[in-house]
Structure 1
Amino acid sequence: MTDVIAEQELTTLRVRIDSLDEQILELISQRASCAQEVARVKMRSLAEGETPVFYRPEREAWVLKHIMARNQGPLGNEEIARLFREIMSSCLALEQPLRVAYLGPEGTFSQAAVMKHFGHAVISVPMAAIDEVFREVAAGAVNFGVVPVENSTEGAINHTLDSFLEHDMVICGEVELRIHHHLLVGDVTKTDHITRIYSHAQSLAQCRKWLDAHYPNVERVAVSSNADAAKRVKGEWNSAAIAGDMAASLYGLTKLAEKIEDRPDNATRFLIIGSQEVPPTGDDKTSIIASMRNKPGALHELLMPFHEKGLDLSRVETRPSRSGKWTYVFFIDFAGHQRDPLVKDALEKIAQDAVALKVLGSYPKAVL
């Protein structure tokens, strides 16, 4: 009798789930139709020769934060936000499919960052180098680019910082990605005869202690990307690769060991670069490059306006300047938007004392 009652309850619940699925489908279809109408309204209102802007970073950030604030469970905020990100991504593709360049090849963490920020409905375009991502965006061949800027274990990505010195790009957003490294092998790998491990130099550094403990005498070969490492291993019997889930799935590799990064909180921050300035959302960051005169107290002079205005600094990086020997430029991230009065005052003060000041952009703080 108990089994009969349980089966009746399950049948009732399944009928209810089927009904809810139909309602969800209807609402998603209505949302998609509304997105198409938004596109038509935008196209009608364009001046002659004006390019339509379909993707609005500030709008997307507001929607996701609003959804998370209203979420009452049982699904967690991040899971709910990921579901809505995919709905928004598919709806946006009805208006205009976005083309987003990233550091390739396919299967890199940069591509994973693209999917996390924009959803799976975008057209992701792999590039061979970070500088090429900047050039594609500058040329208008893609709508946006995604570039790594810092890792919680290994620090700043200097190629990205240097590219900002060479190109006039606007930072439109950021995305933080938890980085989990796995030791991957192929179908033909003889796991007891591994003599070589491929990975990107950053990944090898992030797994240094684990490698010292488990493969101390195995050659470590730095390659252009983790995806390239995974691709090489596919046909070699004596090698393994360190890469992530996307590369493992793409190249059909098996995880010999999972999550081998030395620090469990290992994460990489990526920046979204484009050509459009982003209006304030109320929870923003601003990034700048400043070049100061080479004199005692130059860094203190640069940072003092932030202290005086109570602005929270989240990152300060130093790079050699291209303009002269033993001179430096400073990359600074801080809380606030360049249109905020306190931020405007601080930037005006810095501009008075600096040799050069370049605002890279103000953008919403990472939601996911």
Structure 2
Amino acid sequence: MENERLKNLRDRIDKIDREILKLLNERAKIAIEIATIKRAKGLSFYDPVREKNIIDKVLKINEGPFSDDVIKTLFREIVSATLALQESQKVAYLGPEGTFTHLAAIKYFGSFAQFEPQDSIKSIFESVEKGLSRFGVVPIENSNEGTVTYTLDMFMQYAVKISGEIIIPITLHLLSLTGQKEKIKKIYSHPHARAQCREWLSKNMLGIPVYDVASTAEAARQACVDEEIAAIASEFAAQIYGLKFVAKHIEDFKNNYTRFFIIGKSFPGKTGSDKTSIMFSLQDKPGALYNALKPFKDASINLTKIESRPAKMRKWEYIFFVDFIGHIEDEEVKKTLEKVKDYCIELVHLGSYPMFE
């Protein structure tokens, strides 16, 4: 009786799977038709606003048992696969394979984009500006270690826009070929990852030297060829390089997140839940920064980040980077920025993009 019931349930699943496959291919055919229209009109194939709307709609009608996170992941992969049928999306990221930047790129674009590892943040900006990559993914800040100032400096050198953001949790593990602690003679790590595990290392790996490398993925790549080397890296890197866990979750602070910018040559339209990034320089006189920021307060526009960097043109001159809630197409934002410009030597709109939720 139980075997018959099991068979019936499996038959129902098989039938549903056939229907899912049929509907997916039907969806893909419609997407190809849309691609033909977009190509004729010279429209962009990738539309993050449309993608957000698709996912928001399905989340509103999701009744479970799948969680919203699972549904979001599934539909992002469907959108990614469909987009790959329309046009290959080249995405530059900070390599090698297995970095947190690589992971952020996959989570944002889905696994069907064409991911291109770069050896530096500068190379990502260059690739996007020259049109070699459609998009780039760059780290901008970590909740424990602060702003990635080098990324900010690149915005002063390259004509790119911020078209999106994504925030991912950072979990770090000690990995090696064997997974055996007693075989470890040295540890490789990115400096930021090392700093985030300082206390754990001092308690558990005293006397084992730690060497800095360019990324957590590079640490994993070194560890996969020598069983005496351990790497501080992600589970994602462990899967790619065939490493085993020596110890899991070795970061000192568990509430650890990194925010990444998606950079491109343009920015999307309004979604109703947006963020804007600008940079500006000021005249060197008392109250200059106060005057530039006061219009935001007067308009009740929430600033989510402000950072300064040396302008590197004249000594003691700085560029200010500001993120705030709202889109450049919002009337209140337009009026506010016009007032801010009155106090600036130069103001550059870096991009408006859907706020990560």
Q: Same fold (TM over 0.5)?
A: yes
What residue is the counterpart of 2:213 in the other structure? 223
What residue is the counterpart of 1:80 in the other structure? 71
Shift of 1:348: 0.7
What residue is the counterpart of 1:210 in the other structure? 200
Aligned pair 1:183/2:179, yes or no?
Answer: no
What residue is the counterpart of 2:253 in the other structure? 263
Does the Cα contact within 8 Å between 1:314 and 1:334 map onto a contact in 2?
yes
SS at 1:260's partner residue? coil
Distance in 2 between the 1:26 and 1:156 partners? 47
Q: 2:279 aligns with which of 289, 314, 320?
A: 289
Distance in 2 between the 1:286 and 1:45 partners? 28
Does the Cα contact within 8 Å between 1:288 and 1:331 map onto a contact in 2?
yes
SS at 2:156's partner residue? helix
Does the Cα contact within 8 Å between 2:288 and 2:343 map onto a contact in 1?
no
Does the Cα contact within 8 Å between 1:175 and 1:366 map onto a contact in 2?
yes
Distance in 2 between the 1:297 and 1:207 partners? 41
Deviations 1:136-192 (A, max 9, x none): 0011111100001011111111111110111111111111111111100114x7631
Aligned pair 1:98/2:89, yes or no?
Answer: yes
Distance in 1 between the 2:144 and 2:13 partners? 44
Does the Cα contact within 8 Å between 1:190 and 1:238 map onto a contact in 2?
no
What residue is the counterpart of 2:33 in the other structure? 37
SS at 2:327's partner residue? coil
Distance in 2 between the 1:39 and 1:263 partners? 46
What residue is the counterpart of 2:237 in the other structure? 247
Distance in 2 between the 1:251 and 1:277 partners? 35
Does the Cα contact within 8 Å between 1:174 and 1:271 map onto a contact in 2?
yes
Give the AA of the match of 2:33. Answer: E
Distance in 2 between the 1:61 and 1:131 partners? 29
Distance in 1 between the 2:127 and 2:5 partners? 57
Does the Cα contact within 8 Å between 1:68 and 1:78 map onto a contact in 2?
no
Distance 1:299 1:212, change over 3 A: farther
Give the AA of the match of 1:87. Answer: I
Q: 1:112 aligns with which of 100, 103, 124?
A: 103
What residue is the counterpart of 2:341 in the other structure? 351
Deviations 1:57-92 (A, max 9, x none): 111122122222221211111110100000000000
Q: 1:12 aligns with which of 8, 15, 28?
A: 8
Distance in 2 between the 1:200 and 1:302 partners? 37
Does the Cα contact within 8 Å between 1:191 and 1:238 map onto a contact in 2?
no
What residue is the counterpart of 1:278 in the other structure? 268
Deviations 1:178-232 (A, max 9, x none): 1111100114x76314332111111111112211221232222111011111111
SS at 2:17's partner residue? helix
Shift of 1:249: 1.3
Shift of 1:103: 0.4
SS at 1:355's partner residue? strand
Q: 2:51 aligns with which of 57, 60, 70?
A: 60
Give the AA of the match of 1:131. Answer: K
The ranges of structure 1 where at least 4 consecutive aligned residues each deviate by more than 4 angstroms after the TM superposition are: none
What residue is the counterpart of 1:49 in the other structure? none
SS at 2:266's partner residue? coil
Greater Cα shift, 99-108 or 210-219: 210-219
What residue is the counterpart of 2:306 in the other structure? 316
Unaligned runs of 5+ in 2: none
Aligned length in residues: 357
Deviations 1:27-82 (A, max 9, x none): 11111111101011122334xxxxx4100111112212222222121111111010
- RMSD, matched Cα: 1.4
Greater Cα shift, 171-180 or 237-246: 237-246
Does the Cα contact within 8 Å between 1:176 and 1:269 map onto a contact in 2?
yes
What residue is the counterpart of 2:131 in the other structure? 140
* TM-score calculated relative to the size of structure 2: 0.96
Distance in 1 between the 2:298 and 2:254 partners? 36
Identity of aligned residues (%): 42
Does the Cα contact within 8 Å between 2:180 and 2:246 map onto a contact in 1?
no
Distance in 2 between the 1:71 and 1:302 partners? 44
- Matches of residues 163-174 of structure 1 in structure 2 within 5 Å? 163-174=154-165
What residue is the counterpart of 2:330 in the other structure? 340
Distance in 1 between the 2:287 and 2:200 partners? 42
Does the Cα contact within 8 Å between 1:107 and 1:247 map onto a contact in 2?
yes
